[in-house]
Chains A and B, each alone.
Chain A
Amino acid sequence: AQKITQTQPGMFVQEKEAVTLDCTYDTSDPSYGLFWYKQPSSGEMIFLIYQGSYDQQNATEGRYSLNFQKARKSANLVISASQLGDSAMYFCAMRVGTGGFKTIFGAGTRLFVKA
Chain B
Amino acid sequence: DAGVIQSPRHEVTEMGQEVTLRCKPISGHDYLFWYRQTMMRGLELLIYFNNNVPIDDSGMPEDRFSAKMPNASFSTLKIQPSEPRDSAVYFCASSVYRTGGETQYFGPGTRLLVL
A50-B101, A52-B101, A95-B102 as given contacts; A103 in contact with B45, CB under 8 Å:
yes
Shortest Cβ distance from A42 into B: residue: B108
Q: Is the interface of A mostly helix, strand, loop or mixed?
A: strand
Interface residues in B, total, Cβ within 8 A: 25
Task: Specify which of B43, B48, B111 is in contact with A101 (CB 8 Å cutoff).
Answer: B48
| Residues of chain A with a CB closer than 8 A to B33's CB | 101, 103
Q: When A and B form their complex, what is the total count of cross-chain residue pairs whose Cβ atoms lie within 8 Å?
A: 51
A: interface residue count bin: 20 to 34
Q: How far is the CA of A5 from the CA of B5 in the complex (A)?
A: 30
| Nearest CB of A to B39, in Å | 11
A102 & B56 in contact (Cβ 8 Å cutoff): yes
Q: Is the interface of B mostly helix, strand, loop or mixed?
A: strand
| Nearest CB of A to B2, in Å | 14
Asked if B104 is at the interface (CB within 8 A of a chain A CB), the reply is yes
A104 & B89 in contact (Cβ 8 Å cutoff): no
B56 & A103 in contact (Cβ 8 Å cutoff): no
| Nearest CB of A to B61, in Å | 16
Q: How far is the CA of A45 from the CA of B4 in the complex (A)?
A: 11
Task: Specify which of B50, B91, B104 is in contact with A47 (CB 8 Å cutoff).
Answer: B104
- Type the 1/0 row for B100-115, where 1 means its CB is closer than 8 Å to any CB of A: 1111111011010000
| Nearest CB of A to B8, in Å | 14
| Nearest CB of A to B53, in Å | 12
Q: How far is the CA of A104 from the CA of B42 in the complex (A)?
A: 10
A45-B93, A105-B43 are known contacts; what are 5 more A-B pairs with Cβ within 8 Å? Answer: A35-B104, A43-B111, A91-B43, A100-B55, A101-B50
Query: Which residues of chain B from 7 to 46 have any CB-CB distance to chain A below 8 Å in the complex?
Result: 31, 33, 42-45
Asked if B82 is at the interface (CB within 8 A of a chain A CB), the reply is no
| Residues of chain B with a CB closer than 8 A to A95's CB | 102
User: Can you list 13 pairs linking A and B with CB atoms under 8 Å apart?
Assistant: A35-B103, A47-B103, A47-B104, A47-B105, A91-B43, A93-B43, A95-B102, A100-B55, A101-B31, A102-B45, A102-B56, A103-B45, A104-B45
